[in-house]
Structure 1
Amino acid sequence: MKKIVIDPITRIEGHLRAEIQVNEKGIVQEAYVSGQLFRGIELILKNRDPRDAGLLAGRICGVCTNSHFRGSIQAVENAYEIKTPKNASLIRDLMSMALFIQDHVVHFYQLHLLDYVDVTRALQANAKQTSKEAHLYCNRPFRNSHTHYEAVLQRVENFVQAGRLGPFSNGYWGHKAYRLSSEQNLLLLSHYFEALKFQVKISKAIAIFGGKTPHPQSLVVGGVTSVADMLNPQRLNDFLFIMKEASDFVNRAYIPDMKLLAKVYKKQMKRGEGRANGNFLSAGGYDIDEQTQLFSSGVIYAHDFDNIEVFDASKISEEVKQAWYNNENPNQVEYTDLNPDGSLKTTYHNDKYSWVKAPRYGGQTMETGPLARVFIGYAKGNETITHFTHEFLEACQLELMDLSSSVGRNCARAIETQIICEYIFKLISNLIQNVKYYDTQTWQAYDMDVYSQTAGTTFLEVPRGMLMHHVQIKNQRIQNYQVIAPTTWNASPKNGDDKRAAYEEALVGLQLHDVNQPLEVLRVLHSFDPCLACAVHVIDCQGNSMAHYKLTTG
């Protein structure tokens, strides 16, 4: 048995380490995935005014800023039973949906693409043949001309000749797991550069209603402050124009690229390369109208798409047996040193090896994220999701189960982006109609003195999955705060029950072509879009008990 350590894993948010054990055939037998850096925003929130929680919670992560900002604000609103005006909810949704689009596109092209694209082989491509290749996946491919591809080739060659490969340095170029042709490599690489410009534009859309991004500042307890932007036709038109450009890129570049990837890696999808245990979780949300939500809530066990259980927040627990916290006092640090060779202390059953705690739903590990939302929405007959998912599966000659794989997670993320690009225009239309008929309210007054002691919880579907914010308030001050982020679910350690969470389960059984270049491991982990800054919780180095939580529904 050989142990392989990848530390740090790059092209993610935060600090992640993976240790895997492979047999003589290069097949992964066991995996330990470890969050390597502590963050303590929850401790900083203690004793603060609840109205300040959003601005501070938004600093949990530099990527998921709007998600935590909104989750925190809504937790406080739930604590005080504040109902926000319709316009405020619409503006919040518009910001969230723009973030979904930005996050998904940036994840694939800037963080994950080079796990599939061999830059050196792209240099061998024929520009005219690349243009023809693009037409196999889209009737009107994005920026498709041989002159454009020649310019991309020249740009990459300039990198090479100058000896400044930048983001293309230190790749496993020439690895046997790369399967794209030269022209396919060039096609996707050209969209890598286009996605850089895309990122700038979509960020402007978020800033229209958020004031700025990252770390928008327009959300407040009771509503939003961006009323002037809502009433300004030019600002609405600017947002609408950016969304039209975004939709164009998604439908003419992102979705076709996923179809290309699914075609080339169909065998790997069919055999479930990168598949976890099939337990999926979604809280649902985002109203389309009074009867319909964009995302459906539910729980799936063991890929049983015929039996969707109702999501029940009271079934959530969080343990620390194999995380670096005290078993009796989960808010007290208990860090164990590494082995002499620098490896994690994972030899014995109860070794602690991660800063990430271990959330469980009914005692089970769960996967959350775009794949969970697509599976649950499709299985529940959510028309918004079933239409686009069926269209993609039919075009690629795939079955629903095939999406439960590393490539499939990327396909689900792209399908979700396509769905949101349709849905967001409905939201803009609803906002315009409200303003047209003189509904300009964006904030609801409230009285904090109504409750001397209260608590609030919110569940919010965000780009990487299900996010929970929970706040306890006494005498208008935050007593305790708790966050369970999507990556906390997916990157959970084993917790002494030998139940692998999604990251670790998806690695076991993986075949490596070269144990010295574990590209396949990176593909699996990157497919989840890890965000370790969100996943790591608070500690109290003095050993004081900070909080005890019990979730209730209703």
Structure 2
Amino acid sequence: MSKQIVIDPITRIEGHLRIECAVDNGQVVDAWSTGTMWRGIETILKGKDPREAWLIAQRICGVCTTVHAMASVRSVEHALKMDIPVNAQYIRNMIVGAHCLADNIIHFYVLSAVDWIDIASAALKADPRNAAALAQKLSPWKHNSYQEFKQVQDKLKKFIESGQLGPFSSGYWGHPAMQLHPDVNLIAAVHYFQALEYQRKINKVVTVLGSKTPHIQNLAVGGVANPINLDSPATLTMERLYYLKTQMDEVRDFVEQVYMVDVATIGAMYPEWCTYGKGNGNYLSVPEMPIDEKGLKFAMPGGYIKAGDMASFRQISSARDPYFEDNVKESVKHSFYQGDWTMHPYVESTEPKFGDADLDGKYSWVKSPSFINEPAEVGPVASVLAMNLAKHAPAVKYTKQMLETMSGIGKTPYDMDILPSTMGRHISRAIRAAVVQDNMAEQWNMLITNIETGDCSTFNEPVFPEGEQRGVGIHEAPRGTLSHWIVIENGKIRNYQAVVPSTWLACPRGTNDEPGYYERCLVGNPVADPEKPLEVLRTIHSFDPCMACAVHMLNPKGKKLSSVKVL
């Protein structure tokens, strides 16, 4: 007889997500994903000035602020068919690249690594001298010293002895699914603390160029509000640009010598997790980092793969590619919204329906997106596969490097077939981080080169004609394909929809009752102890769920809506 497991909330980051699983004979046989909040930003934006949309839209999330701002401003520019100065494109690209690296580093070390490493083992059983020697053998990283390892181990021991583990208090320490050697656990723990410093360094790029983070302030429909004047210290000067380059170079070393190596090491030591967590084989990504005024040329390609057939790969050229624009739809058959429909974002609505009455099979605030009428996985796996199939040289190089490192550590050959899996999402995210850092360096060089020609323009004035305009802003965010859809009528927003990565992945069953992506990827997962479902966390956290927050549900009568178990 199957046992029901409920984890609510399951995320370690902003937002609410409830996962319910049916477990039989130590394996997940069915699953349900429930978003337990209503976003509501789409309703707030109706009637607003399109030039203000990005300021409001980036409040969708307290973590992914930059990505929503970027997709939103691009949607208006697409609707108006605007050209954007290349300097503005380069500045925007460095912002989204820096945001991506900070996000990836935080995701692995802070939000997911504790699903794989045993902090208690690292503190009490590891030999810091042996751990440091092993780390030095794996990587030339300058901070893999015995002194640093001993210092971190002593810090962890104090946490444990005090009984106050802080951010490590909710882990399943000693769980049978934890299988790393104590010395490897200590390596990961040391790099956890170092990661906090290096994500801070790369976030300085976002702060300097975007004026602040989170919630950048420098965007504008038509470009950016960063004036370039090499003679004025109050603007974007060469001195500031070279300072940003030093931060980017330092983080580059961390990504290549620490992040990629740690992911390869853990991946090689959990080889079975390169087989769990597979979906239906549909992978969707969009191009990123536009490098021309019209947004038709991109530094990073995207595309669609159907049913795991790599020969089916079809590249998506830009937001103006009808292959993408025409084929995205959303369903509310199992979501808490009025009706039972499947519609294109330009014409769909966001009218909530929730109550104690019969909900007709509705069980989530998340809608169910589809591409060409089928669910699709978005995120680092989709992006890395698309870039490899498009023969993008940096992606090919780093994919090969990552798989060779894993093969050397695990003494087992690995190829790209392992990427569509729980562990493969971490591997793909590390590969994409390396690609992004290369592209950031290129964007910096292109900006400097263009400024040296005397071009300092960063903004084109938008013009809003009478009548209706429709546009979609695309962005390949750290969590996957993000698109903002806007309908403008006589200079005001008539309709607005955001189809976010966690909507693609955390959705409930769709139009034809097919499982959402979390739901299908959990089936077949092992569960050693139903009271401590660590394995479920591993697969869900590999997607990096972020349930965008704005309007939370509450019952005005004070009636209890759900119970919460914090892990």
* Maintained 8 Å contact 1:367/1:501: no
1:284 aligns with 2:299: no
The residue correspondences of 1:99-498 to structure 2 (distance < 5 A) are 99-123=99-123, 124-138=125-139, 140-228=140-228, 231-269=236-274, 272-287=275-290, 293-311=298-316, 312-313=323-324, 314-328=326-340, 331-335=350-354, 337=356, 351-397=361-407, 398-448=414-464, 450-495=465-510, 497-498=512-513
* Maintained 8 Å contact 1:12/1:526: no
The residue correspondences of 1:504-519 to structure 2 (distance < 5 A) are 504-519=519-534
Cα distance change on mapping 1:142 and 1:334 into 2, 3 Å: farther
Q: Distance in 1 between matches of 2:115 and 2:179?
A: 11
Q: What is the CA-CA distance between 1:136 and the residue it aligns to?
A: 3.9
Q: Distance in 2 between matches of 1:301 and 1:492?
A: 19
% same residue: 38
Q: Distance in 2 between matches of 1:165 and 1:285?
A: 40
The residue number in structure 1 matching 2:559 is: none
* Maintained 8 Å contact 1:105/1:195: yes
* Maintained 8 Å contact 1:74/1:221: yes
Q: Which residue identity is paired with 2:288?
A: G
Q: Which residue identity is paired with 1:335?
A: F
Cα distance change on mapping 1:399 and 1:93 into 2, 3 Å: same
* Maintained 8 Å contact 1:487/1:532: yes
Q: Which residue identity is paired with 1:160?
A: I
Q: What is the CA-CA distance between 1:89 and the residue it aligns to?
A: 0.7
Q: Distance in 2 between matches of 1:451 and 1:81?
A: 14
1:61 aligns with 2:78: no
Unpaired segments ≥5 residues, structure 2: 229-233, 317-322, 342-348, 408-413, 554-567
* Maintained 8 Å contact 1:142/1:249: no
Q: What is the CA-CA distance between 1:336 and the residue it aligns to?
A: 5.1
* Maintained 8 Å contact 1:484/1:535: no
Q: Distance in 1 between matches of 2:277 and 2:236?
A: 47
Q: What is the CA RMSD across the aligned residues, in angstroms?
A: 2.1
Q: Secondary structure at the match of 2:309?
A: coil
Q: Secondary structure at the match of 2:525?
A: coil
What TM-score comes out, normalization by structure 1 length? 0.91
Q: What is the CA-CA distance between 1:405 and the residue it aligns to?
A: 1.1
Q: What is the CA-CA distance between 1:190 and the residue it aligns to?
A: 0.5
The residue number in structure 1 matching 2:539 is: 524
* Maintained 8 Å contact 2:486/2:495: yes
Q: Which residue identity is paired with 1:517?
A: K
Q: What is the CA-CA distance between 1:185 and the residue it aligns to?
A: 0.3
Q: Secondary structure at the match of 1:164?
A: coil
Q: Secondary structure at the match of 2:37?
A: coil
Unpaired segments ≥5 residues, structure 1: 340-344, 539-554
Q: Secondary structure at the match of 2:521?
A: helix
Q: Distance in 1 between matches of 2:45 and 2:51?
A: 11
Q: How many residues align?
A: 524
* Maintained 8 Å contact 1:13/1:530: no
Q: Distance in 2 between matches of 1:500 and 1:230?
A: 51
Cα distance change on mapping 1:514 and 1:479 into 2, 3 Å: same
Q: Secondary structure at the match of 2:484?
A: strand
Q: What is the CA-CA distance between 1:16 and the residue it aligns to?
A: 0.5
Q: Distance in 2 between matches of 1:392 and 1:115?
A: 21
Cα distance change on mapping 1:154 and 1:337 into 2, 3 Å: farther
Q: What is the CA-CA distance between 1:283 and the residue it aligns to?
A: 1.7
Which deviates more from structure 2 when the two are superposed, residues 214-223 or residues 6-15? Answer: 6-15
Q: Which residue identity is paired with 2:280?
A: N
Q: Distance in 2 between matches of 1:288 and 1:49?
A: 27
Q: Secondary structure at the match of 1:533?
A: coil
Q: Distance in 1 between matches of 2:113 and 2:473?
A: 33
* Maintained 8 Å contact 1:356/1:536: no
Which deviates more from structure 2 when the two are superposed, residues 123-132 or residues 492-501? Answer: 492-501
* Maintained 8 Å contact 2:11/2:546: no
Q: Distance in 2 between matches of 1:291 and 1:42?
A: 27
* Maintained 8 Å contact 2:301/2:315: no
Q: Secondary structure at the match of 1:372?
A: helix
Q: Distance in 2 between matches of 1:379 and 1:410?
A: 19
User: 1:474-509 deviations in whole A, cap 9, x for unaligned?
Assistant: 221111111101111111111252322221111001
Q: What is the CA-CA distance between 1:390 and the residue it aligns to?
A: 1.4
1:500 aligns with 2:515: yes
Q: Secondary structure at the match of 1:185?
A: helix
Q: What is the CA-CA distance between 1:215 and the residue it aligns to?
A: 0.2
Q: Which residue identity is paired with 1:235?
A: R
Q: Distance in 2 between matches of 1:44 and 1:8?
A: 26
* Maintained 8 Å contact 2:425/2:542: yes
Q: Which residue identity is paired with 1:250?
A: V
Cα distance change on mapping 1:113 and 1:102 into 2, 3 Å: same
The residue number in structure 1 matching 2:92 is: 92
